[in-house]
Amino acid sequence: MSTAEQVTDPVHELAEGPVWDAPRERILWVDILRGLVLEGQLRSGTVEVDEEHRFDFHVGAVAAAVDGSLVAAEHHRLTRIAPDGSRASGPDLFLGHPDDRWNDGVCDARGRFLVGTASLTGARHSQRLLRTDGDTTTVLDDDLGLANGMAFSPDDSLFYSTDSLPGRQVWVRDYDQDSGAVGPRQPALELTDAVPDGLCLDASGNLWLAAWGRGEVRCYSPAGDLLDVIELPAPHTTSLAFVGPALDQLLITTARGELSAAEQQQFPLSGSLFLAQPGCTGLATHPWSGHLTPQETP
């Protein structure tokens, strides 16, 4: 069993979606409920925030392009944040789904952005997993309870995705990086004692999963065997990513926004980011293509 060290103050309502942007040696993540995209760096055992990008609505995920631009899944659109801070937004991708919001996301090897949705009203079995290249948007799933963490296998041939509620299921399917063709989804892992949230894979193909409600990150083999557990002093672990130049550190995000006042007092470090030494290395993040056809300038 491994441990993790607190590396930020407990300021996040719902920290999610950490990304290691290797060319700039920066960490990206979001605070969904506060409408924030954050940029930071590892410095002397802590994560220091260098820049915040604020939005008026929820922000579900962020990814980086080769040129340093960011794409933020904010409100019902994708918004490009240029290196100079200027913004341009794509079309509304939530027509017919006004009560949903963006949730987790990841880029494939061609730079297309895969992003899931969550209901703001508690609706189940209608949430979507979308893939967009900036012009064309494809619906991969439209029957999810809460689309969540996503990752690719080391050879990029398999795509893992989480449906957090109500089934507590991690799915896997074949994925052709050139064409974007996907195979039928198959069950990879099901939790009975926690809610599966964000996930990532290490270089050996093992799956690292945030177990919401248990204050744990769990490592499972491709066959579903439990290999390791990282315990945290925050029950709502949300997501994780391998970070650092060697991709040998595991950054873990947590939340405090859905805890009661008594629970926040009991778990005062909730809402912090944590760093663990998992004893393995992760996989490089695919950059976003940087393509987005502007529809409006906020």
Tell me the H-state helices in the chain. 261-266
Query: Is residue 250 predicted with pLDDT exceeding 70?
Result: yes
Strand partners, 54: 36
Residue 166 CA neighbour count, 13 Å, CB half: 5
How many separate domains does the chain show? 1
Residue 282 lies in a domain: no
Query: Is residue 296 predicted with pLDDT exceeding 70?
Result: no
Higher confidence at residue 45 or residue 158? 158
Residue 184 lies in a domain: yes
Residue 54 lies in a domain: yes
Residue 296 lies in a domain: no
Percent of the chain with pLDDT over 70: 99
CA 68 vs. chain centroid, Å, equals: 19
Q: Quick one: which of 166, 161, 139 has its CA closest to 150? A: 161
Q: Residue 97 corresponds to which tokens in the numbers above?
A: 């789904």
pLDDT, tens digit (0-9, with 9 covering 90-100), for 85-113? 999 999 999 999 999 999 999 999 999 99
Query: Is residue 6 predicted with pLDDT exceeding 50?
Result: yes
pLDDT tier at 297 (50, 70, 90 boundaries)?
A: very low
Dihedral sign, CA of 16, 19, 24, 26? positive
Range of the domain at 247: 2-276
pLDDT, tens digit (0-9, with 9 covering 90-100), for 258-288? 999 999 999 999 999 999 999 999 999 999 9
pLDDT, tens digit (0-9, with 9 covering 90-100), for 17-57? 999 999 999 999 999 999 999 999 999 889 999 999 999 99
Query: Is residue 147 predicted with pLDDT exceeding 50?
Result: yes
Percent of the chain with pLDDT over 90: 94
Q: How many of the other CB atoms lie within 10 Å of CB of 124?
A: 14
Quote the CA–CA distance of 136 and 147 in Å, as a whole number.
20
Query: Is residue 78 predicted with pLDDT exceeding 60?
Result: yes
Residue 268 CA neighbour count, 13 Å, CB half: 1
Residue 281 lies in a domain: no
Q: Tell me whether residue 122 is exposed, middle or buried, using C-beta atoms within 10 angstroms of its C-beta: 0 to 12, 13 to 18, 19 or more.
A: exposed
226-231 and 2-6 beta bridge pairing: parallel
Rounded average pLDDT over 119-125? 90
pLDDT tier at 294 (50, 70, 90 boundaries)?
A: confident
Q: How many of the other CB atoms lie within 10 Å of CB of 152?
A: 22
Give, as one character, the DSSP assignment of residue 120. S
Residue whose tokens read 């912090």: 272
* Residue 234 CB partners (closer than 8 Å, separation 6+): 10, 215, 254, 255, 256, 267, 269, 270, 271, 272, 274
Q: What is the pLDDT of residue 298?
A: 42
Residue 290 lies in a domain: no
CATH number at residue 99: 2.120.10.30
Q: What is the pTM of this model?
A: 0.96
Residue 75 lies in a domain: yes
pLDDT, tens digit (0-9, with 9 covering 90-100), for 169-190? 999 999 999 999 999 999 999 9
Quote the CA–CA distance of 225 and 176 in Å, as a whole number.
27
CA dihedral 64, 236, 1, 105 (to 10 degrees): -20
